Structure formats: structure tokens, C-alpha cells
Amino acid sequence: MKTYTTIQGDCWDLIAFKIYGEEKYMKLLAEANLSLLDYLIFPPGTVINVPDIPDDYDTEETVFWRDEDDEDEEPYSSVEEDEEDNEPYSPVEEDEDE
């Protein structure tokens, strides 16, 4: 099996695009590298197995973290809806004497 060695900033879909020309093959990469599924962005030097694309490979299915069922979920926000202070946070304090 061929391998690919990651560089800084590589992620599943980017690697699939580099190797196969389309991001839709990222599931194929993930299936061939189950021990690396905890990575979203790879550290440089990670060796990834690169399988050939089977003739009957179904590109309609995707990896679990891109499942369409997630589209119905509300996006996470750390800001409460009833917060009145819309001023952006600044770590710099203004001097009251000026």
C-alpha cells in the first residue's frame, strides 16, 4: 500500500484532495487509518496509508463527523441569548486618570 507523509496543516479532506483529486475520498483514507481518527489536523511527519480506490467504492457515504444528521443540530455558541453587553472583550484596561 502506498503511504503519504503529512506536512503542517494537513487534514483528512485536504490529503484526499491532494492524493485523489477530490475530498469525497476522505472516508476511504479514514477507513485505512483507523488509528489516526482522533486527528483533525495532523502533525507534520505522520505517515498515512493510501489505498487504491476500489471500482465499487460508494462516495455518497461520508465519515461519521460529516454525517448529514448533524445538520439539524443548533450551532454551539458560548454567548447567552439574553446577554445585554455586546461590547467586545478587550484584555486591555483603560486608565481612568486620562
pLDDT digits (tens, 9 = 90+) for 47-77: 999 999 998 887 776 555 555 555 555 655 4
Percent of the chain at pLDDT exceeding 90: 48
Backbone Cα Rg of the chain: 21
CB 32 within 8 A of CB 14: no
Q: Is the pLDDT of residue 39 over 90?
A: yes
Q: Predicted confidence band at 90 (pLDDT cuts at 50, 70, 90)?
A: very low
Residue with the three cell numbers 496543516:
9
3-state secondary structure the chain: CEEEECCCCCEHHHHHHHHHCCHHHHHHHHHHCHHHCCCCECCCCCEEEECCCCCCCCCCCCCHHHCHHHHHCCCCCCCCCCCCCCCCCCCCCCCCCC
pLDDT digits (tens, 9 = 90+) for 27-37: 999 999 999 99
Report how far residue 23's alpha carbon sits from residue 20's, in angstroms, rounded to the nearest whole number: 8
Tell me the pTM. Answer: 0.61
